[in-house]
Structure 1
């Protein structure tokens, strides 16, 4: 019996997930000491990444991708809403570091060479919103955000949506060799996220995951 892809992805990327929880960015967020510009900087970096990923997923014609991708997974408008809020209240938005554009470029190259691997990237980004559900209260308390303003992306996690996404993923990608490709793509996504987190952790005093 072929293992379900969602389980392989969960188990295969667990070490990356745990390493990211120990970054300066993550530990400062949990402590309520993360500077606002680092939080906004993450939103700006993810805007670059999700702009590329969602555009490539939307235009993909590969049956595996079209059977998994769904409009309810779109997050870019939420990031745009948050960034508009901070532009209005704080002024200039921090420019993302190079890691965000490097991830976006890999997304575009992957879409051309192996579009099914985009689903590995999507697994990581969609999964991150589940963790954001837990972190959202830290964000709203630290920056005194009200009525969801500035926390639309962090408040977007949905377990029902995640379960439906995982079910579609398992149904679409059952072939072991394809699963290996998607798992490798998810690991590449985590490496890029680690680089983004490293840029945002500079000067915050905790180690950055370079390899797991």
Structure 2
């Protein structure tokens, strides 16, 4: 199998990745064209998604295939909650709500990521490697646009992590997975579904704020 899986992922997800990156909502945020409440809404949607994903990580931590992908240093929920406290105050949990697309995303994530390592790794890969890649550009752009300096955008900050080195190691892990061609197909299909669900959340946000 060699490096087939990581190379295939880059090829097969190219258009889905472009669709998410090309969201009009994200472009408007980085340009500073939306009120800060729009950014706070994005942060709130992240909370629902990462709560589901990081609960699944606890469930899958004892699975021999999934375990190597459970990186404690990547955990985002405490950073998201710090951002929400900064943006909404101490009662932030009473001021956020999941959009319909976010609810759909979380339902699928809980089903896929808690039942089998294929689903867990697919959603884990889609979120965290995205955070370490385009998410870094997005975080810098949002910080500039909304005058944030640490507080309010800690979600995008990975202290003590070299993003490029971790992404390389992560892809090496993918290439050592003991999966059949059928299981690899299932994995790529779930990654594409995760991209689609994330893009739907961004579209809900676009309709609300632009």
Which category describes the TM-score, using the shorter chain as reference length?
0.7 to 0.9
- Any conservation in 1 of the 2:56–2:114 contact (CA below 8 Å)? no
Partner of 2:65: 64
- Secondary structure (helix, strand or coil) at the match of 1:51 reads helix
Is structure 2 residue 134 aligned with structure 1 residue 145? no
Take 1:73 and 1:179, find their aligned partners in 2: how far apart are those partners? 24
Tell me the TM-score normalized by structure 1. 0.86
Partner of 1:162: 167
- Secondary structure (helix, strand or coil) at the match of 2:102 reads helix
CA shift for structure 1 position 85: 1.0
Alpha-carbon deviations, 1:86-121, whole Å to 9, x = none? Answer: 112997744220221221111221135433221111
- Secondary structure (helix, strand or coil) at the match of 1:63 reads coil
Partner of 2:48: 48
- Secondary structure (helix, strand or coil) at the match of 1:153 reads helix
- Any conservation in 1 of the 2:38–2:209 contact (CA below 8 Å)? no
After superposing the two structures, state which structure 1 stretch, 105-114 or 48-57, moved more: 105-114
Give the gaps of 5 or more residues in structure 1: 206-212
After superposing the two structures, state which structure 1 stretch, 70-79 or 112-121, moved more: 112-121
Is structure 2 residue 183 aligned with structure 1 residue 178? yes
Give the gaps of 5 or more residues in structure 2: none
After superposing the two structures, state which structure 1 stretch, 172-181 or 137-146, moved more: 172-181
- Secondary structure (helix, strand or coil) at the match of 1:85 reads helix
- Secondary structure (helix, strand or coil) at the match of 1:132 reads helix
Alpha-carbon deviations, 1:21-62, whole Å to 9, x = none? Answer: 222212212322133222111111111111111111221143
CA shift for structure 1 position 76: 1.3
> 1:136/1:108 Cα in 2 relative to 1: closer, same or farther (>3 Å)?
closer
CA shift for structure 1 position 197: 0.3
- Secondary structure (helix, strand or coil) at the match of 1:149 reads coil
CA shift for structure 1 position 174: 4.7
- Any conservation in 2 of the 1:2–1:176 contact (CA below 8 Å)? no
Take 2:82 and 2:54, find their aligned partners in 1: how far apart are those partners? 16
Alignment of 1:61-210 (within 5 A): 61-88=62-89, 93-129=95-131, 130-146=133-149, 148-156=150-158, 158-202=163-207
Take 2:13 and 2:178, find their aligned partners in 1: how far apart are those partners? 17
After superposing the two structures, state which structure 1 stretch, 11-20 or 67-76, moved more: 67-76
CA shift for structure 1 position 150: 0.8
- Secondary structure (helix, strand or coil) at the match of 2:144 reads helix
> 1:173/1:54 Cα in 2 relative to 1: closer, same or farther (>3 Å)?
farther
Partner of 1:11: 11
> 1:79/1:95 Cα in 2 relative to 1: closer, same or farther (>3 Å)?
same
